[in-house]
Amino acid sequence: MADMPPDREALQALLDFHVEAGVDLALDETPHNRFAEPAPAPDRQPEPRSPSQRQAASPAAPPATPARPLPKAAAGTPDDAAHLARELAAHAKSLEELEGLLAEFEGCALKFSAKNLAFADGNPEGRVMLVGEAPGADEDRIGKPFMGRSGQLLDRMLATIGLDRTSVYVANIVPWRPPGNRTPTPQEVAICKPFIARQIELAAPDFLLCLGGPATQNLLDVKDGILRSRGRWFTYKAGDGREIRALPTLHPAYLLRQPLQKRLGWRDFQALRRALDGTE
């Protein structure tokens, strides 16, 4: 009996169980420890991706990157991957260059299950930068943060204080969708952190709005849960020593699940408006 193949009904039940548990993506038949796999040899410079990078790479322009080729994959452990991420991120002189390096980076396994890198949306020249947790299905499909229902609520909240994506810059602490929308692991966050830190440094906003607990805890080194930390001003210290006023607030996905809490989100957005106006 034990070696009889499962019947159709049993297979369907197993599939339903996985879908209900959030496993909505078939990656492979057997698990892989990608950190244990040998890293490909450091080979070539990343291809220029954006118009500005293409311009920088043209023969007339001075070289934007040093002659030493940048490796894409870390040698083995998550620490190696985080180390490489720090090296690459520090190397980026512009947001376009940072996006190009991140697109080539192979140290975070999420890259291999995601459809697209969701690096940023909005205006990097804006005074406000918003940072969320990680892309979901819509963001993964489109390749930009906050494109789905959370993004629509975020846009409505921004509109109440006279802002939109022409005046704010939006990113996530992790730029690839975790399979099934699970929370990114501490390891994945640690590997991606140098990139978001450099992104903040290069965008150099006046104000940072941390959307939800993971963004708040990881960027501001806050231990409290979001319901305690929201609405309080913190100082974010950028890598170049610049101090940025930072405000944690509730994540729009949480507000969609708990609409009564929108009044707290509303208070935080009002505080941001006052800060922009120089009255708080």
Under the rule (CB under 6 A), what is the footprint of ligand URA?
A: 132-136, 139, 145-146, 150, 172, 253
For residue 133, give the DSSP letter: S
**In the complex with ligand URA, which residue's Cβ is closer, 48 or 265?**
265
Q: By C-beta, is 83 or 141 nearer to ligand URA? A: 141
Residue 254 CB, nearest approach to ligand URA (Å): 10
Q: What are the counts of helices (DSSP H) followed by strands (DSSP E) for the chain?
A: 12, 6
Task: Round to whole Å and give the CA distance between 70 and 216.
Answer: 31
With b for 16 or more beta-carbon neighbours within 10 A and e for fewer, the 196-221 pattern comes to bbbbbbbbebebbbbbbbbbbbbbbe
For the bound state, the minimum distance from the C-beta of residue 62 to ligand URA, rounded and expressed in Å, comes to 35
Query: Smaller CB distance to ligand URA: residue 79 or 155?
Result: 155
Min dist. Cβ of residue 79 to ligand URA (A): 26
Distance in Å, CB of 265 to ligand URA, minimum: 14
Query: Which residue number has the CB closest to ligand URA?
Result: 132
Q: How far is the CB of 46 from ligand URA (least distance, A)?
A: 24
Nearest approach in angstroms of CB 9 to ligand URA is 36
Q: Report the residue number, 122 or 136, with the smaller CB distance to ligand URA.
A: 136
Nearer Cβ to ligand URA (136/248): 136
Joined together, the tokens standing for residue 217 give: 């805890």
Cβ 148 to ligand URA, closest distance in Å? Answer: 6
Element (DSSP H or E) covering residue 236: strand 234-237
Other beta carbons within 10 angstroms of residue 36's beta carbon come to 8
Please say which residue, 82 or 153, places its beta carbon nearer to ligand URA.
153
CA atoms within 13 A on the CB side of 85: 25
**151 neighbors 229 (Cβ within 8 angstroms):** no
Exposed/middle/buried for 260, CB within 10 Å: 0-12, 13-18, 19+?
exposed
CB closer to ligand URA, 32 vs 149:
149
Residues 199 and 220: their CA atoms lie apart, in Å, by 15
